[in-house]
Structure formats: structure tokens, C-alpha cells
Amino acid sequence: PCALGLATPTAIIVGVGKGAREGILVKDAATLEKLHKVNVVVVDKTGTLTKGKPELASLNNLSKQSDAEIIAILASLENKSEHPIAHAIISYAKEKNIGLLPVEQFGMMKGKGISGVINGVKYFVGSAKLAEEHSASLASLEKETSEGKTPVILVVENTVLAIAMIADQIKPEAVSAVKALHSLGIKVVMLTGDDKNTARFIADQVGIDEVVAEVLPEDKLNLIKDLQSGKFENWKLKIGNSSQGLVVAMAGDGVNDAPALAQADVGIAMATGTDVAIESAGITLLHGDISKLVKAIRLSKITMRGIKQNLFW
């Protein structure tokens, strides 16, 4: 009986130790055990597939204010946000020595954007969805978004003041990671709150099977639940037999990924992401290196093989 009791923990300890050396931090044995059964990996876009260090590519100023004034308003509002896209605008303002303005009544609209009052004027900053909600008419952004850029729109009283285009580079290891996941027979789904054209552009470059874009944080959670229960027809996903639930791993790095990471069979956080994402996940990948996800799955398979071998002996 002693040997039986040692067979499993010995293999798990070796597996967790090997993972740590490779920059894969495993929170508990159950996570390592579940990982070898995963047949679909859901990945967030910004900060997971892309570097999460976006830059301001262009500013289309539609107001009578100067570009510097528009950047000051955008940067002041974004300064209170944790989203990686916010850093692009703040760092641009710092580069150009544009000072920030005091913001009152700051508010966040999950998955849509932010709002705040500057000098008595209420501004909204966010996605095209947010602009539509404030019935602000938008020119087509098809060309820019199909080049992988993300629009950040500044709105005041049903009027679009400016559209900032943010570009984020793909992580060089993302392409090889997706290829390796495919070779293990695992489907990959990109899940993002970003514009659908931008998402499709990134997915095509990385070689991802399916894209679900323009989703709110609660949609991320619902998609994971639907994949687990096999009810994903509504999402128009072609990933195997829908009558059977899938074993889902979710990789993300943001505050809005946390509920989905907690719901997934295996939550995988990027160490470069937010604390709440890391806390919700069972595995953390150091340096936010997505290629370590493939190593983690292989490690899980080897560990399970080790357990069975130990039990046999």
C-alpha cells in the first residue's frame, strides 16, 4: 500500500518541478492532471497572442481642437484604465510631453470603454459599439481594422471628436504555438472584445481555426460554459461534435478574462497580465510566453504516463 500511495505524488512532484524550470508555474496537481485531456484552447488576443504593448498608429482628429488637446483628453481618461490599449495613448502623450488633465466622475463600461468629466465636459472613450450607443455616426473603419488596427473613439454628446488607431504586434512565438497545438489535435478559438476585422486579421496571421469577436466579459464566460456543455451551435463554431462537452483550457491576461479563466477546466494566465487573472488561473506562464502552453500540455501527458507506469510497477 505504501508504494501505491507514493506512485502518484512522486510523478506529480517531478512534473511540477520540471514545469517550474521551464517557466510554467502549476498551482495544483488537479490542474496538471486535467491538462492532458484538453481538446480546445480558447485564447484572448491582446497580451496573449499579441505583445500587449500597443502603439498609437494614427489619430484622425474630427474636432476643432488641436491634436495635442485631443491626446491630452484621451491620455487623461486612459490613465485610470488598466487595459493595454490605454498604455499606448499614455506613452504617446509622455513622448510628446503632453500634460494630463484632472478627471472627475471616472466610470468603466465593461467591454465597451470608459467615461469621465474634464473641465465640465463628459467624454466617452471606447469601441465602435460605444459610439453607436451614443448615436454618434462613424465613417467606415473597415480598411484600418482589416489591417489589424484597433479603433479607440472619443465621443462627446453624440459627436465623434477623434478616432485613434492602435496597432499591436503579434508575439513571434504565437504562430509556432498554434501549429504545435494543432499537431496535438487541439482546436484553437480566439475570443476577444476587439473589432471583428482586427481579430480576423490577427487570427489569419497566427493560423487560428475560429474567431469570436466583439464580446463582453460575460460573453467570454458564457462561451466557456457552452463549450463545456456542448451547446455551442449559437456561436457558429465548427469544432467537433457539439453533443459532447469539450475539455476547455482558456489563456488570458486581463481583468475581464478572470471569470472565464476560473470557469475553464484549466485556466492559463500570462505572468505579464493582471493579478486577478493570475489568481483565477491554475497555471501561470512566465514572461507571457504562449509557446510554454504547448510545453505544459506535453508535460501533463508525460506526467500522467509516469503515474500510470508507477502504478503498474
Q: Of 312, 221, 303, nearest to 267 (Cα)?
A: 221
pLDDT of residue 133: 86
Task: Please report which helix (H) or strand (E) contains residue 175, including its range.
Answer: helix 172-183
223 neighbors 211 (Cβ within 8 angstroms): no
Q: 85-116 as b/e, with b when 16 or more CB fall inside 10 Å?
A: bbbbbbebbeeeebebeebeeeebbebbbbbb
**In the Cβ-directed half-sphere of 156, how many Cα atoms lie within 13 Å?**
17
Lookup: cell for 17:
518541478
Lookup: cell for 41:
484552447
pLDDT by position in tens, the chain (length 313)? 888 888 889 999 999 999 999 999 999 889 999 999 999 999 998 888 988 788 999 999 999 999 999 999 999 999 988 777 888 999 999 999 999 999 999 998 877 899 999 999 999 999 888 888 888 777 778 888 888 899 999 999 889 999 999 998 899 899 999 999 999 999 999 999 888 888 999 999 999 989 999 888 889 999 999 999 888 877 888 876 656 789 999 999 888 889 999 999 999 999 988 899 999 999 999 988 999 999 999 999 999 999 999 899 8
174 neighbors 206 (Cβ within 8 angstroms): yes
pLDDT of residue 136: 77
Mind telling me the catalytic residues? Answer: 44
Q: Which residue bears the cell 507514493?
A: 6
Q: 37-69 as b/e, with b when 16 or more CB fall inside 10 Å?
A: ebbbbbbbbbbbbbbbebebbebebeeeeeeeb
Lookup: cell for 301:
501527458
pLDDT of residue 195: 84
Angle between helix axes 2-21 and 291-312 (nearest 10 degrees) is: 160
pTM: 0.82
User: 3-state DSSP call for residue 232?
Assistant: coil
